[in-house]
Amino acid sequence: MNNNNIEENLDLEDELFEHYRFEVPKGQAFLRIDKYLMYLIPNATRNKIQNAATDGNIFVNDIPVKSNYKVKPFDVITIMLSHPPFENHILPEDIPLNIVYEDDALLLINKEPGMVVHPGHGNYTGTLVNALAHHFDNLPMNSSERPGLVHRIDKDTSGLLVVAKTEAAMTHLAKQFEAKTTEREYIALVWGNVAADSGTIEGNLARHLKDRMQMAVFDDPEIGKPAITHYKVLERFGYVTLISCKLETGRTHQIRAHMKHIGHPLFNDERYGGHLILKGTTFTKYKQFIENCFKALPRQALHAKTLGFVHPNTGEMMRFDTELPDDFKECIEKWRNYVKSHNTEEEN
């Protein structure tokens, strides 16, 4: 199996950690950086190095570079990844899992908000991977040495994840994610009154040039990876809108970055500015109402509602659906009650 298949599905987040540092020696002829690093990094392939450059993980003199950058004497090259070098030590932990389906090949988990999927920046215990290591023996390792994982969702996003229990299932599922044949639907509450009842957002995603904790949309086709999000309005509350998002691709923070790009950050998404009051009135009572909504839903308003795929053993198309978690339901109910007694129609 091509390791990049799973690496794409497991696009990482958070702070970058230094894994390699090289200083180009005096007398080095100009050479493309992807070729140069192939001979310095153990088990590296040119394709992996090019993907790292595309993701903005290769720096020369502290500036991200593309794979065609030509190194020169005294350049300082650093490879920065989203997990610390010691991350792969996994401690099994007896953490309850909400398993909605399981057979010999795979299992479906309805992840609670607040649970980190895999160890990483600041979260080396208490993750889904730690729980999987406790509850299951001999799960297959993906290319990042994480047992069973084929894809991931953010810490504060709730909803469905499929976990592979065999090597064959992992390969089969990873190919489906790569081929964009899986069905993935998310429910999101976003700031503002989304003008169109439905639409499509397209734009390459890569790390923000100034804020490495964010992803951003780039027009340059050579920067980042293509990302496509289809959205549909489910319910309007004037100052916020409840939408459904279906993904063709599964990039890091895809929905969060795409919705911010079109001017509708997710409600209470601190990383992308949605934790501020972006629409509405200046009345004190309205500010208190929003603060109450934030307390009810203390995270970004995003839930992985539906997941569909072909079963790797039977060939059957399987589709799983989950209800919104209680915190999300409570926030929506507050908005429904608010619009019953307030005029939220915005001026053009």
Q: Which residues are catalytic?
A: 154
Residue 137, burial from CB neighbour count under 10 angstroms (0-12, 13-18, 19+): exposed
The number of residues in the chain equals: 348
CB 192 within 8 A of CB 239: yes
Sequence-distant (6+) residues with CB within 8 A of 186 are 157, 159, 244, 245, 246, 247, 255, 302, 303, 304, 305
Q: What phi and psi, each to the nearest 5 degrees, are found at residue 189?
A: -110, 120
CB 240 within 8 A of CB 267: yes
CB 266 within 8 A of CB 274: yes
Cα gap 78→58, rounded to integer Å: 6
Report in angstroms the alpha-carbon separations of 185 from 85, 104, 238, 246, 303: 33, 25, 23, 4, 9
Structure tokens at 55: 């993701």
Cα gap 134→344, rounded to integer Å: 50
CB 90 within 8 A of CB 119: yes
Residue 92, burial from CB neighbour count under 10 angstroms (0-12, 13-18, 19+): middle
Give the pairing type, strands 302-310 and 158-164.
parallel
The three-state secondary structure class of 261 is helix
